[in-house]
Amino acid sequence: MGERGRAFLVELAEAAGVVLRGLAQRPEGPPAKLAPVFRHGIAPGEVSDDAVLEYLRAAGLAVFASGELPLVTTEYQGDGTRIELPSKWVVAGRG
């Protein structure tokens, strides 16, 4: 990033945790690409939305813009629709 560069960060929103836990508890189990994540004990969507901003600020970065968008995955629901996870985006830099 240097002194004037910018970082574009996309992170799962807290709300994604609810969606992912629901997928993990389906009778058929989680989707194939998400199963290894859960098997390894990774808890996606567990970091609070505010904590992500605090981590950036603690690293000496300013947040210039932020927003929400759906993160469209390559996995599907049982009805054939793509799984979309709530996410947050941030543009950050040194100033």
pLDDT in tens, 18-63: 888 888 888 888 888 888 888 888 877 788 999 999 999 999 999 9
Cβ contact 30:38 at 8 Å: yes
Query: Once rounded to an integer, what is the mean pLDDT over residues 1-15?
Result: 90
Predicted confidence band at 70 (pLDDT cuts at 50, 70, 90)? very high
Q: What is the pLDDT of residue 66?
A: 96
Q: What's the pTM value of the predicted model, to 2 decimals?
A: 0.78
Residue type present at position 38: F
- Taking the CA of residue 25 as centre, how many other CA atoms within 13 Å lie in the half-sphere pointing to its CB? 6
3: which DSSP letter?
T
Cβ neighbours, 10 Å, residue 91: 15
Whether the CA torsion 41, 24, 34, 86 is positive or negative: it is negative
